[in-house]
Amino acid sequence: MFKDAVRALAPQIEDRGIDEIYIDLTELVASDPAGDAADAWARAREIAAAIQRVVREATGLSCSIGITPNKLLSKIASDLEKPGGLTVLREDDIPTRIWPLPVRKVNGIGPKASARLAAFGINTIGELALADEALLIERFGKSYGSWMHEAAHGRDERNIVTYREPKSISRETTFETDLHPVHDREQLSQVFTELCLRLAGDLERKGYRGKTIGLKLRYDNFKTVTRDHTIEVPTGDAEAIRRAAGECLKRVLLDRRIRLLGVRVGALSKPGAQAQPAAAPQPARTPTLFD
């Protein structure tokens, strides 16, 4: 995975998805007493070039990098010289490099906000920076108006977030051939069980249990439905997960072939050293089509 190769060069990474990361280079480029700021920027560029090389080696693909004082500016700068660009942008460069750009280049200003700003004669980031903050607050609300004013000046105090507690853990599979809920019941049941077993293994490895069990189905017409069932005691047990997911299954229509099946555990918690209470005896229930 290319992100592992990047971490070997710069470990302070915020993972933002399959093709986007933020990296804090502060410690890596910190100047010694005899150094200066210019040395730090030069060192940052060297590291960024090395990151581009390891990404190409790992994936065969190019990547664009923006080296700036904060996340907001890096997001903008990474788009300035695509593909494969490496843009260094300092605070002094904001008036010449950032202000001429349209306001929609600021991540967080979408089409609707851009259209409203245009109605006030504000089309570029520079025009937004010169706008009266009080007017922005009046038109867009205190939180969003103040944020737009700060963003237009290139200000962003957000730190790199290197770890986030997951909200849920899931397993799903897409079938090569759409399966019929009746005629392919045995195969669906086997897959259902296997997903729950793998999900329980994921929970055990990561040290989580959860109270909300979810089911996801995608039909042959690509319509997707989800259902949740919350249990009283957090669990990481495959049988308990399957049982709860089976309750979800009772609440969906099984009148079409199935393209995708998934199981999810949410409302996660880490029990630590506490033992999981024994499961209460389960009352008799009506079986579902492939439960």
Closest CA to 226 of 178, 191, 184, 264: 264
* Through-space distance between the first and last CA atoms of the chain, rounded to whole angstroms: 36
Task: Provide the H-helix boundaries in 89-168.
Answer: 111-119, 125-130, 133-140, 142-152
Assigned token pair, 112:
């609707």
Query: How many CB atoms sit inside 10 A of residue 194's CB?
Result: 14
The CA-based angle 84-86-90, given to 5 degrees, is 155
Which residues does residue 169 pair with via DSSP β-bridges, in sequence order?
Answer: 265
The helix (H) or strand (E) run that includes residue 205 is helix 185-206
> Is 208 strand, coil or helix?
coil
Judge whether 20 counts as a catalytic residue.
Answer: yes
Q: Which of 20, 91, 138, 204 is catalytic?
A: 20
Return d(Cα 204, Cα 98) in angstroms, integer: 47
- Report yes or no: 66 and 150 within 8 Å, Cβ to Cβ: no
Return d(Cα 291, Cα 286) in angstroms, integer: 10
Which residues are identified as catalytic? Answer: 20
